[in-house]
Amino acid sequence: MTHLEETVQSPDFKDRKTGLVVFGVLQIIFGGFCALDVPLMILGMVASNVLGKSSAAPISLRMMIPGILFYVLLAVWFIWMGIGSIKARRWARAILLVSSWLWLICGVGGLIFVLLFMSGMYDQMARNKQMPQEMVLVMKFVMIGFMTVFYLIIPAAFVLFYGSKNVKATCEFRDSHVRWTDKCPLPVLAVTIIFAFWAVSMLLTGLSGWLIPFFGSILSGLTGALVSLVAALLCLYIAWGTYKLRISAWWCSLLLTIVWALSVVITFSRVSMSDFYEKMKLPEQQLEMMRNYVIPQSPIMPLFFGISFLGLLGYLLYTRRYFKIPSE
């Protein structure tokens, strides 16, 4: 073999193919566990309806559908991403890096929320002697440990790995084709994913009777469906337009975020969370738990909502640099 052939065949970076395979297999395993959760949830619903009639409210299929859909979509996502990682696809590395950042940011917020909110709920249960103090400590430890691993450690590992220059170079070396993710800056791709997720979320409100807060009232039924469908279409346009780097889509994302935040603030300044939960038609036992433990501590929720809104607004303003007006 000549020196020229050695230069062509030997990349000037550390090949991370093995790491891509390991992380890909790990994600396929996650997807398998998510898929396994679906029959377990159905089995739990059947068991609750058969055995728990005397002590607990039966769990209806309508209540289970959102959770089942969530785990089905999560299973498809992890398996699809895992296969893409194993094959060292450029699109998989880009999507995984962006989604892992979103996963990590949401995980940090979720863990803080749990420490401030759920911890107090368990303490109140112990004070009301609804649960032994030892059991409360065990549940706290398990809950915080689980969230630390799956909401912080795992996404942080994904960010570090898929954000590595060697991983990026490995995918570009092994997948020489220009992929659709190469046509959009990664910070903008995050906006695309966020609004695509919101579009799906708007459609899923149909499972709860199309409940949606709207400038001082809680809409439902046909009116709620129309507003939810319009919001979903707007989010889909923003997802498509931001991917195409359309400045009109960026302005639309900014305005929709502000309008939505104002709608939520105005609505829940007039409508209590208790009324909102009642309109969700939850079983009386769950409503009672919400009234006793969730609603009294609701001031934490506006704080998190405000931080989330300001964070998203600031990020949208940051991504403005990637959008050019037609004259430019």
DSSP per-residue string spanning 183-251 = GS-HHHHHHHHHHHHHHHHHHHGGGGTS-EEETTEEE-HHHHHHHHHHHHHHHHHHHHHHHTT-HHHHH
Residue with tokens 């679906």: 38
Q: How far apart are the first and last CA of the chain?
A: 50
Single pTM value for the model: 0.83
Does the pLDDT at position 264 exceed 50?
Answer: yes
pLDDT of residue 298: 56
Please write the tens of the pLDDT for every residue from 14-41. Answer: 999 999 999 999 999 999 999 998 888 7
Query: Rounded mean pLDDT of 223-231?
Result: 94
- For every residue of 234-257, DSSP letters joined together read HHHHHHHHHHTT-HHHHHHHHHHH
Q: What is the mean pLDDT of residues 308-314?
A: 93
Q: What's the rounded mean pLDDT across residues 79-103?
A: 96
pLDDT in tens, 106-143: 999 888 877 777 666 666 665 666 666 667 677 778 88
Spatial contact of 221 and 210, defined as CB atoms under 8 Å apart = yes
pLDDT mean over 282-304 = 63
What does the pLDDT read at residue 301? 72
CA separation for the pair 65, 283 (Å, rounded):
15
User: Which tops the pLDDT comparison, 216 or 47?
Assistant: 216
In this predicted model, what pLDDT tens digit does every residue of 38-81 receive, in sequence order?
A: 888 777 767 666 655 544 455 556 667 777 888 899 999 999 99
